[in-house]
Chains A and B, each alone.
Chain A
Amino acid sequence: MIGGAVADLLHGFQVALQPHNFLACFIGVLMGNVVGVLPGMGVMAAMSILLPLTFAMPPVAAILMLAGIYYGSQYGGAICSILLNLPCHPPHAVTCLDGYPLTKQGKAGTALGITMLGSFIGASFGIIQMIFFAPVLVAAALKFGPAEICSLMLLGLLAGSTLARGSAIKGVSMTAFSMLLGMCGTDVTAGIERFSFGLPELADGVEIVALALGLFGIAEFMKSVNQVEPLTSGYTTVRLRDMVPSRNDLRVAAFPIARGTIIGSLCSLIPGTGPTIASFVAYAAEKKLSKTPMRFGRGALEGVAAPESSTHSAVQGDFIPTMSLGIPGDSVMALIVAALTIQGVTPGPQLISQHPDIFWGLVASFWVGNILLVVLNVPMIGIWVRLLTIPYRHLYPSALFFVCIGVYSTNSSLFQVGVTLALGIFGYVLLRLGFHPAPILLGFVLGPRFEENFRRAMLISRGDLMVFITQPISAAFLAMCVVLVGAQLYVYLRNNRTLKFNPLPADEI
């Protein structure tokens, strides 16, 4: 099995190192890095702006580029957190706690060096995990019929909407709403128009680009307009020489990096718990294990190394359920699935055998991209820092233009730009009300496929709903759904009770 994997991986490197694929990967990580550094620009916005541009590319290059943006932005986000105390990207919020104090002590170079090292180790571990884990999952998933896929999707949707940030019920209602949105347009099996309100423009449904840019573009800009402070920082001169960690630093950081990596890879396997949760868990674990927990928050190198390696390991691991089962774990992965679908590639268990160049090319490009990122970041820190001084008042109008033209270019329809506008307003209202928009994209991508498989299962079983319970694998997934919901209800009720009678600290639960 290992021999086969190595041969496949070599094939992957051949694909990833082809000039145009390499270029796509390079553009992706570069864009990602820039977006990661710029405050107020989200990964989702960047990916959805570039999504229309990838339509014209071959599928491999398109996926390499989109994936590159995702993990590239993680490197950029760390720079922002450590040098400027700006948690512009949620996974790196926790890095600020110890990264910025280190910067104030003049050890920014060390912190960045350790971050790069930890990130690379974490990412490499995530990639190896993907190489060995994905084929195993696929072998199991190939036996799945429509009923099993249906139950699995239900589990994915539930986990994605309840385990993510914010209130679980709000998450579920967002998912439900987005599934309705996904149904908008002409019904695939029956050919009837649904939710199109008699508008012929809506017959093809809502474009994924319009949805993503409305929610993560326009709504985000509405949130951060006049909220982003102009930057003032005196700690932005980092020399290359400072970034090489000393032997002592390496000894301090070695175990935190290893632990962070493992925590990240575990988190990535649970849908709904992406890099953000991974980094917080890693930081908390490190603080608990440390003999000197009071050093945390005042510039402990462990507090930078562990969460950063955890984030990167989780980012790469995120791709495992997406590429092997076709079930995305969060909104970024949902966008990748959508991009694959637009390219005419069905994400799912058949992906690895039918499109080996996409899967192995992607795996190999992860390594190529990560090496590129380390090489890019080490000498170019100064440029990234200067990039930070671009004021937000120039940034968001430009981005808004790319939003408009991006949506327009998906199928030359100004109507879809209007849809984006409406969804943007809607998304902002939701944000203000405390609904998180991330599950929307998940439901939007999975919803139609859920429906399709549900109908197929119904056709096979002649409309007998019991098929979901009588099939053992499907029943197991449904049982997991029940356990998931039950556990959340239990925790919720218990929290409520303890809060009423005696307020216990959260660690007790």
Chain B
Amino acid sequence: MVLGVVLILCGGAIAIPGVESVEEHVDLHPSPEWRGWACILGGVASFILLARNLGLFPATFSCVFISALGDRSVDIKHSALLAFALAVIGVLVFHYLLGIQLPPFAWMRS
């Protein structure tokens, strides 16, 4: 019952601006940034996939590297270095120091 009430409220609340917001539009972004978006989302997605199958180290590397590709002024060598450094830091800090359950590499799973 409580749920129903809130749901009706939500429906109403969302429908109203749908009708009214036609006149007021704020254009914050001049151009779509497909490359940036795709790389950021791809980076996170690759983290999920690789962390599940290959371990923390490759997951971190790919997450940082792929998302770094989203910037137009990207430098492949620098990004790879950054990704490598972060992967090392990530494994050291999060695996050895804080003890989270992801193994650095999948074959190291005990």
Q: Is the interface of B mostly helix, strand, loop or mixed?
A: helix
Q: How many Å lie between the Cα of A183 and that of B29 in the bound state?
A: 33
Among candidates B3, B21, B70, residue contacting A170 with C-beta atoms closer than 8 Å: B21
Per-residue CB contact flags for chain B residues 60-83 toward chain A (1 = under 8 Å, else 0) read: 100111011011111000110011
Contact A222 B82 (CB under 8 A): no
Contact A398 B86 (CB under 8 A): yes
Contact A400 B44 (CB under 8 A): yes
Contact A226 B33 (CB under 8 A): yes
Is A488 in the interface zone, CB < 8 Å from B?
no
Among candidates B25, B37, B60, residue contacting A222 with C-beta atoms closer than 8 Å: B37
Q: Is the interface of A mostly helix, strand, loop or mixed?
A: helix
Is B48 in the interface zone, CB < 8 Å from A?
yes
Among candidates A393, A394, A414, A433, residue contacting B51 with C-beta atoms closer than 8 Å: A414
Contact B68 A394 (CB under 8 A): yes
Contact A226 B44 (CB under 8 A): no
Q: How many Å lie between the Cα of A20 and that of B79 in the bound state?
A: 36
Contact A225 B70 (CB under 8 A): yes
Is A424 in the interface zone, CB < 8 Å from B?
yes
Contact A434 B6 (CB under 8 A): no
Among candidates A167, A177, A391, residue contacting B10 with C-beta atoms closer than 8 Å: A177
Question: Which positions 203-243 of chain A face chain B at CB distance < 8 Å?
Answer: 218, 221-223, 225-227, 230
Contact B17 A397 (CB under 8 A): no
The chain A residue sitting closest to B24, CB to CB, is A167
Q: How many Å lie between the Cα of A405 and that of B61 in the bound state?
A: 12
Among candidates A183, A221, A393, A400, residue contacting B73 with C-beta atoms closer than 8 Å: A393
Known A-B contacts A225-B37, A404-B63, A409-B100; A397 and B68 likewise in contact (beta carbons under 8 Å):
yes
Among candidates A183, A391, A417, residue contacting B44 with C-beta atoms closer than 8 Å: A417
Among candidates B9, B60, B98, B100, residue contacting A401 with C-beta atoms closer than 8 Å: B60
Contact A403 B44 (CB under 8 A): yes
Among candidates B16, B28, B45, B98, residue contacting A409 with C-beta atoms closer than 8 Å: B98
Per-residue CB contact flags for chain A residues 40-80 toward chain B (1 = under 8 Å, else 0) read: 00000000000001001000000000000000000000000
Chain A residues contacting B13 (CB-CB under 8 Å) are 169, 172-173, 176
The chain B residue sitting closest to A406, CB to CB, is B94
Contact A408 B100 (CB under 8 A): yes
Among candidates A172, A421, A451, residue contacting B45 with C-beta atoms closer than 8 Å: A421
Chain B residues contacting A394 (CB-CB under 8 Å) are 68, 78, 82
Among candidates A169, A179, A226, residue contacting B6 with C-beta atoms closer than 8 Å: A179
Is A355 in the interface zone, CB < 8 Å from B?
no
**Other A-B pairs, 8, CB within 8 Å; known A396-B67, A403-B44:** A173-B16, A173-B17, A180-B10, A393-B71, A397-B64, A397-B83, A404-B48, A451-B2
- Nearest 9 CB-CB pairs, A to B? A225-B36, A393-B71, A176-B10, A397-B68, A173-B13, A397-B67, A397-B64, A404-B47, A169-B17
Task: List, sorted by A's number, 26 A–B pairs whose CB atoms are closer than 8 Å.
Answer: A169-B13, A172-B13, A173-B10, A173-B17, A176-B10, A177-B10, A177-B14, A180-B7, A221-B67, A222-B40, A222-B41, A225-B40, A225-B71, A227-B33, A393-B74, A396-B40, A397-B63, A397-B64, A397-B82, A400-B40, A400-B64, A404-B44, A404-B60, A408-B51, A409-B98, A421-B48
Contacts from A to B (Cβ < 8 Å): 53, 56, 167, 169-170, 172-173, 176-177, 179-180, 183, 194, 218, 221-223, 225-227, 230, 391-394, 396-398, 400-401, 403-405, 408-409, 412, 414, 417-418, 420-421, 424-425, 428, 431-434, 451, 454-455
Contacts from B to A (Cβ < 8 Å): 2-3, 6-7, 9-10, 13-14, 16-17, 20-21, 24-26, 28-29, 33, 35-37, 39-41, 43-45, 47-48, 51-52, 59-60, 63-65, 67-68, 70-74, 78-79, 82-83, 86, 90, 94, 98, 100-102
